[in-house]
């Protein structure tokens, strides 16, 4: 089976074909075995646990009034037939019951992988609702359908679905060296792969070649898919590739990359080890929650 990275190990049965059955969804909300995860301003409520925090799963009943008042509520999926929902509880202050708000990236590095993936799904879809309350076609306020998986316009009847933005992320390689860069737009960014959004009318492979050329000046020949990762900041789907450069001369776009240079396999392995040990310095590799870390590490290990 393929390697799976942070936010990718979602254990839920999405039951997508049943979401449109409003009576079924209502029965799940009433069921005593159903549980709900809460997010406030997109931060998940978690409880201390060992070795890491756990999702603060709540019974649904105490939250029924908030749901009825219009707080975004989404059916994330089922575990052994028992429903798991997510609720936007931004309007509700934390109680004194020991729950706390966690940072999603920090949690993804320490929580059980399935729990982190569930919270990533919850974050992506709650954020989509928050930013898509109106019909993009006509401007009318839309209503939630399909247990939180669509919005419909009462005026023009348009149906809107959660958005997922494909991003290519790639390691340019040339013989025994690979190119890593530091993002110019993120303070404290470490060395990682290049990346960019796929545009209408592009294949994934064409997007890889365009982004590498734009950011580094390198021409890319063969492009090899490695793995994908959902990245809920806010709604990316990272598609990871190895990109074989067929030219050498770097022409760095400093609007995109603060710096970029070639690394040997040994250098990458050393940086990956420091990063995996928790070191956070500008001259080390992106953290292990990021697929870019693994593309570089796997290439450096001789996998490609």
Interface residues with a second copy (CB under 8 A) are 1-2, 4, 7-8, 10, 14, 16-17, 117-118, 120-122, 124-125, 128, 131-141, 149, 158, 160-166, 197-206, 210, 214, 221-223, 225, 227-230, 232, 235, 237, 239, 253, 255
Rounded distance, CA 210 to CA 218, Å? 10
- Which has the closest alpha carbon to 241: 191, 283, 193? 193
Q: Output the six-digit token pair for 293.
A: 């870390």
Report the run of H or E that residue 126 belongs to, with start and end: helix 113-131
CB of 37 to a second copy, least distance (A): 12
CB of 125 to a second copy, least distance (A): 5
- Given the complex with a second copy, which of 251 and 283 has the nearer CB atom? 251
- Given the complex with a second copy, which of 143 and 164 has the nearer CB atom? 164
- Which has the closest alpha carbon to 276: 1, 5, 2? 5
CB of 284 to a second copy, least distance (A): 26
Rounded distance, CA 288 to CA 3, Å? 12
Backbone angles phi, psi at 230, to 5 degrees: -70, 140
- Given the complex with a second copy, which of 156 and 273 has the nearer CB atom? 156
- Given the complex with a second copy, which of 28 and 122 has the nearer CB atom? 122
- Structural contact between residues 272 and 192, judged by C-beta atoms closer than 8 angstroms: no
- Given the complex with a second copy, which of 143 and 264 has the nearer CB atom? 143
CB of 17 to a second copy, least distance (A): 6
């Amino acid at each position: 089976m393929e390697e799976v990275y942070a936010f990718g190990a979602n254990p839920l049965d999405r039951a997508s074909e049943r979401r449109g059955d409003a009576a079924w969804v209502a029965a799940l909300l009433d069921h005593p075995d159903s549980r709900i995860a809460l997010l406030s301003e997109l931060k998940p409520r978690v409880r201390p646990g060992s070795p890491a925090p756990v999702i603060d799963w709540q019974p649904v009943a105490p939250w029924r009034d908030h749901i009825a008042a219009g707080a975004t509520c989404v059916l994330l999926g089922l575990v052994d037939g028992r429903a798991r929902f997510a609720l936007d509880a931004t309007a509700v202050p934390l109680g004194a019951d020991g729950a706390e708000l966690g940072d999603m990236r920090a949690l993804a590095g320490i929580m059980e992988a399935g729990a982190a993936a569930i919270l990533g799904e919850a974050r992506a879809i709650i954020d989509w609702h928050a930013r898509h309350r109106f019909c993009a076609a006509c401007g009318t306020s839309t209503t939630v359908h399909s247990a939180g998986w669509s919005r419909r316009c009462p005026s023009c009847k348009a149906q809107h679905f959660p958005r997922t933005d494909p991003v290519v992320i790639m390691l340019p390689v040339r013989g025994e060296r690979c190119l890593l860069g530091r993002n110019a737009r993120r303070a404290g960014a470490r060395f990682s792969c290049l990346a960019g959004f796929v545009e209408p009318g592009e294949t994934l492979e064409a997007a890889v070649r365009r982004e590498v050329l734009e950011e580094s000046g390198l021409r890319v020949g063969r492009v090899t898919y490695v793995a994908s990762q959902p990245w809920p900041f806010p709604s990316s789907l990272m598609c990871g590739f190895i990109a074989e450069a067929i030219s050498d001369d770097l022409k760095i776009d400093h609007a995109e990359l603060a710096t970029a240079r070639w690394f040997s396999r040994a250098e990458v392995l050393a940086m990956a080890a420091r990063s995996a040990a928790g070191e956070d310095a500008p001259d080390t590799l992106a953290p292990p929650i990021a697929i870019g870390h693994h593309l570089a590490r796997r290439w450096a290990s001789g996998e490609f």
